[in-house]
A and B are shown apart, each in its own frame.
Chain A
Amino acid sequence: MSDSKAKMGYFCSLVPTEIIAAAGYEPVWVKGKAEMTAAADARMYPNMCPYIKSLFTDAAEAGGSAFDGLVFARSCDGVRRLYDVWQAYIPSKFTYMLEVPKNADDLAVTYFAAQLRDFASQMGKASGREVTVPTLRKAIKDANAARSKMRELYNRQSASPLPMAGSELFMQGLAILHGDGAKGITATRKKPVAEGAAAGSRKKTRVMVCGNVMSRPDIFQMIEGSGADVPVADVCTGLRFFERIVDEKGDDPFLSLAEAYLGVPRCSRTAAPAETYARIRDNVNRYDVNGVVLTALKFCDQQLYDIPYLLKKLNDDGIPVLFVENDYVFKDKDRIRTRVEAFVEMLES
C-alpha cells in the first residue's frame, strides 16, 4: 500500500471504523449518489430504501466502486440483499460483510467480538498491515478523540441562544464521516442560525431532528429558514455517531469495540421502540426542544415500523411532532418545506 491512504468505504455506523483505521485505511462513510437515476432499478427490486439505491446507482454508473474496499454490515434485510446484488454486478477490489448481531446482550457481544477479530484479520490481509492490539488501541484512542470534539460541540447546543447552527454542526460531522478527520471541526458559528437573524438574538423555537441516515442539510436548512433553531440531529450520521465512546482501557480491545457498538446509543435497528422513545424524550429535555421532526427514509422498515409508536408517545406526552418521510435526495423539497414551515409556525404560535 502506498503512503497516501487507501480508502475503505463503509455504509452503516455499526461498522467499527477503528479496525479499518488500524489496518492503515482511511475509513470513509459512503454517501452514494446525490441524484437518483434508474440504474439501481434495472438490477434491484425498486422498493428498497433510497440510500441503498443511491449506493448502488453511484457504483453502477461509474462501472465499479471508487473505493479500495467496502465494508457491508448485516444492518437490515436491505443491506444484506444489497451485498448480493453488489457482488454480482459491481466490480470491487475488496468487499467484506460484517456480522452485526441484532441483539445486544452478553451472547451477542461475545459473538460480535469474535466477528470483529475476523474482520480485523481480513482487513489486515487486504491492506498488508496487520491489525495488532497496539495499533487497534491507538485507532480507538484517535477515534474517541475525534468523536469527543464533536460531542463537546453537541453538548454546547443545549445552551440558548444556540452556539452553532444545526445545519453547520451536522455538515461538520459529515465531513468527519467523509474522512476529513477532526481537522474539519470548528467551534464557532460561521453563519447566522437563520437568514437575517444575528447570533444571540431572542430565544428561538428549537426543533430536534430524529431519524436515520442523512447526507444533506436540507431538512435543517428548511427548519432554520422557517426561523427556528436545530440544536441537535439525532440521526445515524449525526449525534448518534459521535456519542459512541469505546473503552480504551479494556483488556480486550475487540470486546471493548463490541460492547461499545452494540451499546447505547442504539438506533431503531437494534433498540426496541420504547428505548428509542426514551432517548427522544431525554434529548427533548437535554436540548430544551419545543418540537420534533421525525424523519425516515422511504422503505426503511427499521424506522418505519417504529413511527406509529413514536407518534403516539410524543402525542401522549404533548410533544409536538412532524413526521417527514424522505427520499434521501430530497427531490420533493418544496412539499417538505411547506410542511416544515407550517410546523414551525404552529410551534411559534
Chain B
Amino acid sequence: MLNKFYTEMKSSLEAAYQQKPRAAIRVTIQLASTFVEAYRADKNVVWTSFYSFPMELLAAFDVTPFDFEIAANLLPTFSADAAVEIMNRAEEVGYSTDICSYHRLAAGCDMLGYMPRADLLLSSSYFCDGKAKTNKTLADRCGKEAITLDIPNKISRESVDYVAGQLRRIAGRIESISGQKLDLERLRECIRVSNRARRAYEQLADLQKVSPFPYIGVPVINMSIFGNMLAGKEIQEQIYLEIVEESRKKIMEGRLTPEKYRVLWLAWFPVQPTVIRQIFRKNGVTIVMGELARNYGGRMDESLPFESLALWCLKNPYVGTIEQRLKGINEIIDEYNLDGVVHFSTDACRHSCAAQKLIGDVMKERNIPYLVLDGDMSDKRKYSPERTEMLLENFIGIMAGRK
C-alpha cells in the first residue's frame, strides 16, 4: 500500500513539476523516489532517521535509506481517516494511545505488511526514546539488526570520541550488509558536498530575514526534517540554490505576499490537514523560521569525518540541556524580527513538550507573545479544529494589540 502510495505520489509530483518547476516539489519527488526505491529487491535498504542521523555516512555507500516514521506519516496528509484506521490496528494489539501517533501509525503499517524490507535498522537516541524503541521492535519482527546511535547529553572530547566510535562501527555494519567497503575519500567528499549545501541553506536562512518573507514557512520546516535525507548528495545543494533563486526572483519582481506577523515555529508541524495554514493566510501570519531549520551544526571538517558527523549530532538543539535549545531560539528571535513564537505541542512528544512552559517563561521575559498550540502530528482524534482556531485567533489578537 505504501509502495503504491509513493509510486503514485512520485508520478503526480513529476507531472506537477513539469507544469511548474519548483524546488519544493523537487525535494518531495526525491523523497517519494527514495521510498519507492526502498521496495526494490535489488537494493540494500537501511532504515534510519532522516532528521537525526548523519546521512552523509549513508551517502558514502550505495544503499537506499528509508525512514519508517516519515514514510508512514505522510499518509495523514492525504487521508487522516485512513491513518486512524491503521493506528487502530496497532492499538488493538496493545499500543497505548499515550504513545506518539508517529509510531502507532508506523507500527500499524508494519503489521499490515506495508513497509519495505530492511537490511539494517539505524536510529538515534535523541529523536526520540520512542523512535529507538520502535526501531528495535520492528527489527525483531523482521529478524534484522537494530542499532541505536547513542548521543550523549553534552559535548566533550569523550562524547565526540564515543559517537565517532559508534559511527565507525555502523560503517562496518553497512559494509557487511552491502558488501561494499567504505571509501574514506568518498565519505570526505560527501561531507564537502554537505558543507556546500549548508552554505546554500544559509543563504536561504538569510533571505528569510527579509520582510515580507519571500518563501513559504511550512516547506522550510519540512525541509529541515526530511531535507536531511539528501545530506551528502549533490542534489541537496542544487535544490537549496534553486529555492534561493526562486526567493530572490520573487523579491526582485515584488511578488511577495503581504505580511502582518512573523512567527517562529517550535517543534514539529502537523502532517495531518489542519486549519493552521488557512488561519495564518487569512491573517497575514508567516512562519519565518523553525528551530531545526537552521544550520546549527556549522561547517564540518572532512579531514575528521567521523568526529565531524558526531559533532553535528551533538550540536542538535534537542541534545543537551534546555540551554542548548533556548540558545538557538533566542538567536532566531534576535535575527528574524519576530512578532511571536508558537510551540506546537504534539501529544506524547515528551522531549519537545516537557519544557514548553519554561520556554514560555523565557519568552515572557523577552516580551514575546508565545502560544502553546496543542494537537497531534498525525492522529485526527487528538486534534480539534475549533480549539486550534480559537487558540490561534487569540494569539493573533495578542500580536495585533502590540503593533
Q: Which residues of A approach B to under 8 Å, CB–CB?
A: 42-45, 47-48, 74, 76-78, 80-85, 87-89, 97, 99, 101-103, 107-108, 110-111, 114-115, 268, 272-274, 298-299, 301-302, 304-309, 311-312, 323, 325
B354 close to chain A: CB less than 8 A: yes
Q: Which of B340-372 contact A (CB under 8 A)?
A: 345, 347-348, 350-351, 353-358, 361
Question: Chain A contacts of B353 at CB under 8 A?
Answer: 45, 47
Of B103, B158, B347, B357, the contact of A44 (CB 8 Å cutoff):
B357
Knowing A97-B153, A97-B321, A306-B133, the reply to whether A80 touches B95 (Cβ < 8 A) is no
Instruction: Assess A47 versus B347: contact at CB under 8 Å? Given A74-B152, A273-B140, A274-B140.
Output: yes
- The interface stretch among B123-131, B268-276, B291-299, B384-392 is B123-131
Pairwise interchain contact B350-A45, C-beta atoms closer than 8 A: yes
A87 to B93, CA, bound (A): 39
Interchain CB contact under 8 A, B96 and A325: yes
Expressed in whole angstroms, the minimum distance between the Cβ of A276 and any Cβ of chain B is 10
Within 8 A of A (CB), among B125-181: 125, 128-130, 132-134, 136-137, 139-140, 146, 148, 150, 152-154, 158-159, 161-162, 165-166, 169
Partner of A81, one of B100, B158, B165, B355: B355
20 further A-B pairs in the complex, CB-CB below 8 A; given A81-B350, A301-B99, A307-B95: A45-B356, A47-B353, A48-B350, A76-B129, A81-B355, A84-B355, A84-B358, A85-B357, A88-B358, A103-B166, A107-B162, A108-B162, A115-B158, A299-B350, A301-B348, A304-B96, A304-B99, A305-B137, A308-B93, A308-B137
Please, could you name 10 A-B residue pairs with CB atoms under 8 Å apart, sorted by A?
A: A48-B350, A84-B355, A85-B354, A299-B350, A305-B129, A305-B137, A307-B94, A308-B90, A308-B107, A308-B137
- Residues in B with CB closer than 8 Å to A99 are 152-154, 159
User: Given known contacts A114-B158, A305-B137, A306-B133, is B98 in contact with A47 (CB within 8 Å)?
Assistant: yes
Q: Which residues of A contact B355 (CB under 8 A)?
A: 44-45, 81, 84-85
Q: Is the CB of A305 within 8 A of B354?
A: no
A304 to B130, CA, bound (A): 9
Interface range on chain B (Cβ under 8 Å from partner): 35 or more
Contact B357 A45 (CB under 8 A): yes
A307 to B103, CA, bound (A): 14
Closest to B161 in A: A111
Q: Verify if B82 is at the interface (C-beta below 8 Å from A).
A: no
Distance of A300 from chain B, by nearest CB (Å)? 9
Is B322 touching A107 in the complex (CB atoms < 8 A)? Answer: no
* A110 to B134 Cα, complex, angstroms: 26
Instruction: Give min CB distance, A184 to chain B, whole Å.
Output: 34
Partner of A83, one of B136, B146, B321: B321
User: A102: which B residues are within 8 A, CB to CB?
Assistant: 125, 132, 148, 150
Chain B CB within 10 Å, residue with most, of A43, A47, A82, A273? A47
Say yes or no: A299-B94 contact (C-beta < 8 A), given A47-B353, A107-B162: no
CB-nearest residue of chain B to A42: B357
Of all chain B residues, which has the CB nearest A323? B94
The distance from the CB of A124 to the nearest CB of chain B, in whole angstroms, is: 19
With a CB–CB cut-off of 8 A, which chain B residues contact A308?
90, 93-95, 107, 137
Chain B residues near A84 (CB, 8 Å)? 321-322, 354-355, 358
Q: Which residue on B lies nearest to A78, using beta carbons? A: B350
A77 touches B98 (CB 8 A): no
Q: In angstroms, how far is the closest chain B Cβ from the Cβ of A288?
A: 26
**Contact A80:B358 (CB < 8 A) given known A48-B350, A272-B140, A307-B94:** no
Q: How far is the CA of A265 from the CA of B174 in the complex (A)?
A: 30
CA distance A43 to B322 in the complex (A): 14
By a CB distance below 8 angstroms, the chain A residues around B154 are: 99
Given A85-B354, A97-B321, A323-B94, A309-B99 contact (CB < 8 Å): no
The 0/1 profile, CB within 8 Å of A marked 1, for residues 81-98 of chain B is: 000000000100111101
The 6 lowest CB-CB distance pairs between A and B, nearest first, are: A81-B354, A308-B94, A84-B322, A77-B351, A305-B133, A45-B353
Q: Which of the residues A81, A85, A103, A307 comes within 8 Å of B150, measured between beta carbons?
A: A103
Q: A77-B354, A111-B162, A299-B98 are in contact. Are A273 and B137 (CB under 8 A)?
A: yes
Give chain A nearest CB distance to B57 CB in angstroms.
16
Contacts of B95 in A (CB 8 A): 307-308
Please name the residue on chain A nearest to B162 by beta carbon: A111
Residues of B within 8 A of A77 (CB): 128-129, 350-351, 354
Q: How far, in whole Å, are A66 and B355 apart by their CA atoms in the complex?
A: 23
What is the 8 Å Cβ interface bit string for chain B, positions 195-227, against chain A (1 contact, 0 not)? Answer: 000000000000000000000000000000000
B345 contact from A44, A45, A88, A115, Cβ within 8 A: A45
Beyond A102-B148, A273-B140, A323-B94, whether A305 also contacts B357 by CB under 8 A is no
For the complex, give the distance between the alpha carbons of A274 and B321 in Å.
32
Q: In the complex, A88 Cα to B161 Cα: how many Å?
A: 31
Q: Which residues of B contact A311 (CB under 8 A)?
A: 93-94
Within the complex, the shortest CB–CB distance from B239 to chain A, in Å, comes to: 32
Known: A43-B358, A308-B95. A107 touches B166 (CB 8 A): yes
* Closest chain B residue, CB of each to CB of A88: B358
B165→A272 contact, CB < 8 A: no
